[in-house]
Structure 1
Amino acid sequence: MKSIFISGTAGSGKTLLSSKLHEYYTKNGAFAAILNLDPGVDNLPYTCDVDVRDYVDYVSIMQQYELGPNGAMIMANDLIASKIDEIQNQIDKVNPDYLIVDTPGQIELFAYRSSGRFVVENLSAEEKTSIFIFDGALITTPVNFVSIALLATSIRLRLNLPAINVLTKTDLIGDKLKNILEWSTNMRALENAIAKEADGDTFSLTTNILRGLNLGGFAQGLIPISNVTGDGFVNLEGALSRILNLGEEVED
């Protein structure tokens, strides 16, 4: 079994990408399953093969401990780690080729608390990788692009997994798509775009961050996809296969 953790900012399309990636693998003859790690989600566009809501009741936690929504979510996510053996047993019964892990909407609950790292390390799989979603609607300006790139690098550091950077909502950002893709591979072009937009202090801070990210190997480009049209999923699956299957792709 190979595991794919999907992370990104709230509203970036994690859950929809999980669903579409599951559809892609299924259509091409691979056995994929989805693990929902968000205890607070109400509705999902897919049928969960394994669902943490079966083990942790977010509403009951809020009532029992007299917590607000945020406090209950923190406790619920920490409790998930204590259920890891039960969750693993259910995954083993499903026994998919690919386990797609849909992480919580609030990225900080999963990536920055020790319970999230514990889940990543203790879910058993032959190979693991992560997809970080760059929300196309958020990164249409160069300063925002660098900000999200910094977050993506931070998440990679926290999860300690090989990472693939994906650009979503490509069908919504029009002419900005070309600029964003250029920024993701050409640091000089991104610096020039920042210089046109930012004042002195912002330019200095942003370019210093950018150079640090570049030295860390960030400038690998983004894989643009559309969850609506399906464009880009062949390229995404190829990138996943290079990590998970040593380059052997599923049949298309």
Structure 2
Amino acid sequence: MFTVFIIGMAGSGKSLLTGVFQEWLRFKDQDVLSLNLDPGVLKLPYNPDIDVREYIDIEELMEKYELGPNGALILASDLLADHIEEVQSAIEEHNPDILLVDTPGQIELFAFRESGPFITKTISQEAKAIVYLLDAPFCKNPLNYVSNMFMAAAVYNRLLQPQIYALSKIDLIQESDLETIINWSLELSSLEKSLEETVGEVSAMLTRDLALALHRTELVTEPIPVSSKTEEGFTALYAALTRIARGGEELTY
């Protein structure tokens, strides 16, 4: 089984991509299962095959421990680890070739709590990868782009799994903006120029130094442009995942 964690900042389109990409994979005759790890989500744009909300009830936690919504979400995220065996059993019942994991909307509840790295490590002993979503409309601003890439680097540092960058919601930006964002990932000079044109001198200097540090670590790679509305980029995303999993071979024969 190849496990793919869909991770990104709130609003980047994780759940929608999970659902649409799952259907796309099934149309390609791939044996794929979806897992929702967000205990606090009220409504999803797809029907997950396995849902952590069956094991954790946010409202029950709020009432039992006299917590507000945020406190209950933090507790629920920590409790995810306690239910890992139940989740594993549900996965084993289906025995898929591909598992798509839709992570919590608030990235810090998964990547920066102890339960996130634990679940990532223990959910399966087979091949895994992270698809980190970069929200294209948000990343049009070079300052936002650098901030998001630093968040992605922090996620990699926490979870230590092969990581692919996907530029989501490209149907909401102009082609020229898409080309600009791609160039930022390929040429540091292009990003430096955009920063100087967008923000003040002091802010540009700080952000430029941060961007330089990222490029030196080689964690900045060209993102794959995708759209959950048009399914553009899904073939490229799947190809990148198969290269990680099996050297480019189909995951389901």
Alignment TM class, shorter chain as reference: over 0.9
Question: TM-score, normalization: structure 2?
Answer: 0.96
- Taking the aligned partners of 1:24 and 1:245, their CA distance within structure 2 comes to 19
Q: Match for residue 89 of structure 1?
A: 89
Paired residue total: 251
Q: Match for residue 123 of structure 1?
A: 123
Residue 3 of structure 2 is aligned to residue 21 of structure 1: no
- Taking the aligned partners of 2:159 and 2:209, their CA distance within structure 1 comes to 24
Q: Per-residue deviation at 1:200?
A: 1.9
- Taking the aligned partners of 2:126 and 2:115, their CA distance within structure 1 comes to 21
Residue identity matched to 2:247: L
Residue 163 of structure 2 is aligned to residue 163 of structure 1: yes
SS of equivalent to 2:139: coil
Matches within 5 A, 1:1-252: 1-174=1-174, 175-249=176-250
Q: Per-residue deviation at 1:69?
A: 0.3
Q: Which has the higher helix share?
A: 2
SS of equivalent to 2:85: helix
- Taking the aligned partners of 2:115 and 2:93, their CA distance within structure 1 comes to 24
Compared with structure 1, are the counterparts of its residues 96 and 125 closer, same or farther at alpha carbon in structure 2 (3 Å cutoff)?
Answer: farther
Q: Is the 8 A contact 1:25 1:250 kept in 2?
A: no
Q: Is the 8 A contact 2:132 2:164 kept in 1?
A: yes
Q: Deviations over 1:102-153 (max 9, x none)?
A: 0000100000011111111110141000000000111111111111111111
- Taking the aligned partners of 2:227 and 2:197, their CA distance within structure 1 comes to 29
Residue identity matched to 2:192: E
SS of equivalent to 1:226: coil
Q: Is the 8 A contact 1:2 1:125 kept in 2?
A: no
- Taking the aligned partners of 2:16 and 2:120, their CA distance within structure 1 comes to 21
For the aligned residue pairs, the C-alpha RMSD in angstroms reads 1.1
Q: Deviations over 1:47-101 (max 9, x none)?
A: 2211111111111001111100000001111111011111111110011110000
Question: TM-score, normalization: structure 1?
Answer: 0.97
Q: Per-residue deviation at 1:250?
A: 5.7
Q: Per-residue deviation at 1:249?
A: 3.7
Residue identity matched to 2:132: F
SS of equivalent to 2:229: coil
Q: Is the 8 A contact 2:224 2:236 kept in 1?
A: yes
Q: Is the 8 A contact 2:149 2:220 kept in 1?
A: no
Residue identity matched to 2:62: M
Identity of aligned residues (%): 42
Q: Is the 8 A contact 1:49 1:94 kept in 2?
A: no
Q: Per-residue deviation at 1:41?
A: 0.9
Q: Is the 8 A contact 1:37 1:102 kept in 2?
A: yes
Q: Is the 8 A contact 2:81 2:119 kept in 1?
A: yes
Q: Per-residue deviation at 1:21?
A: 1.4
Q: Is the 8 A contact 2:9 2:107 kept in 1?
A: yes
- Taking the aligned partners of 1:120 and 1:11, their CA distance within structure 2 comes to 22
Once structures 1 and 2 are overlaid, which stretch shifts more, 168-177 or 127-136? 168-177
SS of equivalent to 1:137: helix
Q: Per-residue deviation at 1:219?
A: 3.0
Q: Is the 8 A contact 2:98 2:251 kept in 1?
A: no
- Taking the aligned partners of 2:251 and 2:110, their CA distance within structure 1 comes to 30
Once structures 1 and 2 are overlaid, which stretch shifts more, 195-204 or 127-136? 195-204
Once structures 1 and 2 are overlaid, which stretch shifts more, 119-128 or 26-35? 119-128
- Long gaps (5+) in structure 2: none
